Structure 1
Amino acid sequence: MGQCVTKCKNPTSSLGSKSGDKEGGSKSHPKKGGSAGGGHKEEPSGPCSKTISELSNGTKALEVTMETPVIPAMMGEPHKDECLDGDGLSMLRIEELFFCYKDEQEDAILEEGMEMFCNDLCVDPAEFRVLVLAWKFQAATMCKFTRKEFVEGCKAIKADSLEGICSRFSFMLVDAKGEENFKDLYRFTFQFGLDADEGQRSLQREIAIALWRLVFTQNSPAILEHWLDFLSENPSSIRGISRDTWNMFLNFTQAIGPDLSNYSEDEAWPSLFDTFVEWELERRKREEEQALLSKEEEGRCTDTDCSPTTDRLETEGSRGSQTWGGH
């Protein structure tokens, strides 16, 4: 959702905001000029109201009936006349919830609405749950839910209120752990991170790093942090991450062991992986050499006179006693 990692220049901000700024302390954010019920200041007493005009002589000239929709409270029980689907969901309540965060000009929830939505769900826009929600809603763009994405997403997770969405988070997280579901979430995350307005075809390096760390929240592979260190330490040679590299990294974490011993350059891995394996093996070699030097240094100190022996300490102690006693 929104800027879960961020579509802006700062990948460590939030999923719900390009700027990462959040308004603290806000609990509910109805649209201007209306209540949380989608713009109606008051609920009418009935489904319609009548207006009667009278002529100057007191006779009734015309009776006009005006239909007025009745929208139930966002957190209340469904209205008795509401149409529920097969899962007992109220389409009217879903539409009402959408209107609470909808942009005034565009028929979609945009950056500001996303921040409000996350705040009212009591979730951090930068956390994994928000990414999973965006996946369930099949959001095409960060910082945006179209009406169709929101309505179909709520139907998919079987929720028609804020409370309902919150109650589904635990189920969504479990669902995301399934092998095929996680693969789908993983591939969705790449597309989600692209800037559709600019027609991007590859992820910016900083965005990719943030998204990799986010998508592996529940099950982080052993090699992940070394891979991200490699990307961070080689900015000049790595400008962007292609879809092929992104997708193949998941295969890499599943097929190649943590010691990298079964990696072969002859296989069809992206060239960036060859560079990474070479870099990582060299880094490990340096660490091993450093550890060996430290161990040898400790050994030399043990064999020589780096630290006073017991006999020497006793001799020095005896001399000290004599010195103090002489005074």
Structure 2
Amino acid sequence: MGQCVTKCKNPTSSLGSKSGDKESSSKSHHKKGGGGGSGGHKEEPSAPCSKATSELSNGTKALEVTVETPVIPTVTGEPRKDEFLDGDGLSMLRIEELFCCYKDEQEDAILEEGMERFCNDLCVDPAEFRVLVLAWKFQAATMCKFTRKEFVEGCKAIQADSLKGICSRFPCMLLDAQGEENFKDLYRFTFQFGLDAEEGQRSLQREIAIALWRLVFTQDTPAILERWLDFLAENPSGIRGISRDTWNMFLNFTQAIGPDLSNYSEDEAWPSLFDTFVEWELERRKKEEEQALMAMEEEGKCTETETECSPTTDRLETEGSRGSQTWGGH
């Protein structure tokens, strides 16, 4: 999956930190080695805080001023003295700082632009299955949007407080989504996730439903899925939207009805759209069988014609050979 690197240029700026003004005046100092025989000196990494000093003309030193440089846990992964860890060892401060890296300037939520950067830093495509599973774990109410509460509670649910932590949870989340009850929950969540809550939608647009069906069945694709999606795509005039009932029942349909559709019954309580689909699919298969049969018959006629022509050709070749022998004899 590749390394996950935070691309947030200055995370503290979104938190209102003013430490950047002080850092420009601070100087790092080096600690010289002890009085050993080497006489050299060894440089050590600068501490989180550095001391700026100035020397007066009489050789005395002025008052030392300590300038603290804050350590940003979302970048370094190191704990801070002021951060609070919950019972699972998660840092609430780091989760909040991570959220603020991507939140919108006007709204207290991660919107489309921030979501794109967030997915890019996680090394995932915004349209892939892992992002859908992450949204399910975060219980996001709207596509391309994480509210602060959804993000914080979601990170707590998957036990991650950094980009690296979220990346490391993907394999477990994908495995978790394969469980029968969990997948049913994910499947039903996907319908709600695809609705435009602000518009008050109650059914999915046909194109969005097709895309979400293909996405949610990424790990375990039913044999009938592509035929169902072809049916929806080829009948735009008769299908305006997909209702919640149709969406939920299609999962039952894939589990109860075999690929050959032989055990489907219109007498059962299936949505009427399923009746139309089964009729369309059986008619399509009938036409395919007829076309295949016609192709076989055409191929058979060609074979018979070739067989009939073959003896004549052989006879001519034989007679030609005899003629050559006769002329050669004279």
Q: TM-score range by the shorter chain?
A: 0.7 to 0.9
Q: Distance in 1 between matches of 2:75 and 2:15?
A: 9
Q: Distance in 1 between matches of 2:319 and 2:104?
A: 87
Q: Give 1:79 shift.
A: 1.6
Give the counterpart letter for 1:270 in structure 2.
Answer: P
Matched, 1:111 2:89: no
SS in 2 for 1:192: helix
Q: 1:250 to 1:91 in 2, by over 3 A?
A: same
Give the counterpart letter for 1:82 in structure 2.
Answer: E
Q: Give 1:301 shift.
A: 1.6
Give the counterpart letter for 1:112 in structure 2.
Answer: E
Give the match for residue 8 of structure 2: 30
Structure 1 residue runs without a partner (length 5+): 1-25, 48-67
Q: Deviations over 1:151-182 (max 9, x none)?
A: 00000000000000000000000000000000
Q: Give 1:72 shift.
A: 2.9
Give the match for residue 211 of structure 2: 210
Q: Give 1:115 shift.
A: 0.3
* 1:137–1:152 CA contact under 8 A, matched in 2: yes
* 2:111–2:145 CA contact under 8 A, matched in 1: yes
Give the match for residue 102 of structure 1: 103
SS in 2 for 1:290: helix
Q: Distance in 1 between matches of 2:93 and 2:235?
A: 52
Give the match for residue 171 of structure 1: 172
* 1:102–1:108 CA contact under 8 A, matched in 2: yes
Q: Deviations over 1:123-150 (max 9, x none)?
A: 0111000000000000000111000000
Q: Distance in 2 between matches of 1:146 and 1:206?
A: 26
Give the match for residue 41 of structure 2: none
* 1:222–1:258 CA contact under 8 A, matched in 2: yes
Q: Distance in 2 between matches of 1:98 and 1:87?
A: 19
Q: Distance in 2 between matches of 1:317 and 1:136?
A: 82
Give the match for residue 161 of structure 2: 160
Q: Distance in 2 between matches of 1:311 and 1:87?
A: 90
307-316 vs 110-119, greater mean Cα deviation: 307-316
Q: Give 1:313 shift.
A: 6.0
Q: Give 1:317 shift.
A: 9.8
Give the counterpart letter for 1:143 in structure 2.
Answer: C
Q: Deviations over 1:195-249 (max 9, x none)?
A: 1111000000000000000000000000000000000000000010000000000
Aligned pairs for 1:1-327 within 5 A: 28-30=6-8, 35=12, 38-40=15-17, 41-42=19-20, 71-305=72-306, 309=310, 312=313, 315=316
Q: Distance in 1 between matches of 2:319 and 2:75?
A: 87
Give the counterpart letter for 1:201 in structure 2.
Answer: R
Q: Distance in 2 between matches of 1:318 and 1:94?
A: 95
Flag the structure with more relative contact order, 1 or 2, with Cα contacts below 8 A and sequence separation at least 6: 1
Q: Give 1:190 shift.
A: 0.2
SS in 1 for 2:242: strand
Q: Give the percent of matched residue pairs that are identical in Structure 1 and Structure 2.
A: 78
Q: Give 1:34 shift.
A: 5.2
Q: 1:157 to 1:308 in 2, by over 3 A?
A: farther
* 1:29–1:100 CA contact under 8 A, matched in 2: no
Q: Give 1:266 shift.
A: 0.7
* 1:190–1:243 CA contact under 8 A, matched in 2: yes
SS in 2 for 1:198: coil
Give the counterpart letter for 1:30 in structure 2.
Answer: C
Q: Distance in 2 between matches of 1:318 and 1:97?
A: 93
SS in 1 for 2:204: strand
Q: 1:70 to 1:307 in 2, by over 3 A?
A: farther
* 2:5–2:122 CA contact under 8 A, matched in 1: no
Q: Deviations over 1:75-120 (max 9, x none)?
A: 4212244221111111110001000001111110001100000000
Structure 2 residue runs without a partner (length 5+): 24-46, 50-68
Q: Give 1:264 shift.
A: 0.6
81-90 vs 205-214, greater mean Cα deviation: 81-90
* 2:137–2:154 CA contact under 8 A, matched in 1: yes
Q: Distance in 1 between matches of 2:319 and 2:137?
A: 79
Please report the RMSD computed on the Cα atoms of aligned residues, expressed in angstroms.
Answer: 3.0
Q: Distance in 2 between matches of 1:89 and 1:264?
A: 53
Q: Give 1:298 shift.
A: 1.3
* 1:208–1:241 CA contact under 8 A, matched in 2: yes
Give the counterpart letter for 2:228 in structure 1.
Answer: W
Q: State the number of aligned residues.
A: 279
* 1:227–1:276 CA contact under 8 A, matched in 2: yes
Which has more radius of gyration? Answer: 2
* 2:130–2:174 CA contact under 8 A, matched in 1: yes
Q: Distance in 1 between matches of 2:6 and 2:311?
A: 73
Q: Give 1:71 shift.
A: 4.6
Give the counterpart letter for 1:164 in structure 2.
Answer: G
Give the counterpart letter for 1:182 in structure 2.
Answer: F
